[in-house]
């Protein structure tokens, strides 16, 4: 299996080498690490160069756009020539924490969409309580990048709208939470060819480890939950989502 979105650089209690080993022992042979802060861009580059199973995404997270400078465009362009940089991300809109700089978020989001289009790389989208603006901006500005709705948090209806655009839906630990009926409904209803698995480690740890630090090895709990919701085998979920990830990120 592939963990398509995992901040392994932010895991504190387990070393990167140990995290990768535990992932491998649990059937996860590729991990894609996004950037969130501008400083992560160098961290991601060093991780992809030192670990065969690690791939990277470059970009600035919506809550960190106050640190955005336009020279990052040239830096990302240069670094994305590396064959293991497979997407731009994570980028998008986050209206949950602080609404005072929504306009700056939109501006930087649009700049990074254009960059991804120019580089012809997929985009890992962070959308928290900003479904409508995220959707509208992507529809207006994205010309050719494949879209992955990372940590999808919308309704079944919104998932369908995204899939109608050809966008992928990435599900993580939330689907295993007892009270997360909305995400369980999404996991049951979307066509499998649009589904990706991710942990978003170190956050959103699935049951039965909820409350502890998340890591890529726990993808299996997410796959098991989705398989049981859909009444199919874990192998089937693993196979299809792995093929989807290989296709989307051209691994
Ligand atoms: Ni993330």
Averaged confidence pLDDT in the chain: 97
Percent of the chain with pLDDT over 90: 99
Query: 181 CA distance to ligand 1 centroid (A)?
Result: 22
Q: Are 190 and 198 in contact (CB under 8 A)?
A: no
What stretch of H or E contains 41?
helix 40-50
d(CA 105, CA 126): 11
Global pTM reads 0.97
Residue 189 CB-half CA count within 13 A: 15
Task: Tell me the residue range of the domain where 162 lies.
Answer: 2-249
- The domain tally of the chain equals 1
Query: 189 CA distance to ligand 1 centroid (A)?
Result: 24
For ion ligand 1, residues whose CB falls within 5 Å: 200
CATH number for the domain harbouring residue 90: 3.20.20.140
Dihedral class, residue 102 (left if φ above 0, else alpha if ψ from -120 to 50, else beta): alpha
pLDDT of residue 3: 98
Query: 36 CA distance to ligand 1 centroid (A)?
Result: 7
Question: Taking Cα atoms as reference points, which of 186, 180, 141, 143 lies closest to residue 168?
Answer: 186
Which residues on adjacent β-strands are paired with residue 196? 170
**What's the rounded mean pLDDT across residues 31-45?**
98
**What's the rounded mean pLDDT across residues 29-49?**
98
Question: What's the length of the chain?
Answer: 251
Question: Taking Cα atoms as reference points, which of 78, 58, 60, 77 lies closest to residue 69?
Answer: 60
Query: 188 CA distance to ligand 1 centroid (A)?
Result: 23
Neighbours of 250 (CB within 10 A): 13
**What's the rounded mean pLDDT across residues 5-22?**
97
**What's the rounded mean pLDDT across residues 89-102?**
94
Does the pLDDT of residue 97 top 90, yes or no?
no
d(CA 246, CA 229): 24
Given pLDDT bands bounded at 50, 70 and 90, which one contains residue 244? very high
Query: 152 CA distance to ligand 1 centroid (A)?
Result: 11
């Amino acid at each position: 299996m592939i963990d398509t979105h995992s901040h392994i650089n932010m895991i504190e209690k387990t070393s990167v080498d140990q995290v990768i080993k535990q992932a491998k022992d649990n059937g996860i042979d590729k991990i894609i690490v996004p950037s969130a802060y501008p400083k992560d861009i160098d961290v991601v580059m060093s991780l992809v160069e030192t670990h065969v199973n690690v791939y990277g995404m470059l970009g600035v997270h919506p809550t960190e756009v106050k640190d955005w400078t336009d020279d990052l465009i040239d830096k990302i362009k240069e670094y994305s020539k590396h064959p293991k940089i497979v997407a731009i991300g994570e980028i998008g809109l986050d209206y949950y924490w602080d609404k005072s700089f929504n306009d700056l978020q939109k501006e930087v989001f649009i700049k990074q969409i254009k960059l991804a289009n120019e580089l012809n790389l997929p985009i890992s989208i962070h959308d928290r309580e900003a479904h409508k603006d995220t959707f509208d901006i992507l529809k207006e500005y994205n010309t050719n990048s494949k879209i992955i709705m990372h940590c999808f948090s919308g309704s079944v209806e919104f998932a369908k709208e995204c899939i109608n655009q050809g966008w992928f839906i990435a599900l993580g630990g939330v689907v295993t939470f007892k009270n997360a009926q909305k995400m369980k409904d999404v996991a049951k209803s979307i066509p499998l060819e649009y589904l990706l698995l991710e942990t978003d480690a170190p956050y959103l740890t699935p049951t039965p480890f909820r409350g502890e630090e998340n890591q890529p090895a726990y993808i299996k709990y997410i796959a098991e939950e989705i398989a049981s919701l859909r009444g199919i085998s874990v192998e089937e979920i693993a196979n299809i989502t792995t093929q989807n990830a290989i296709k989307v990120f051209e691994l």
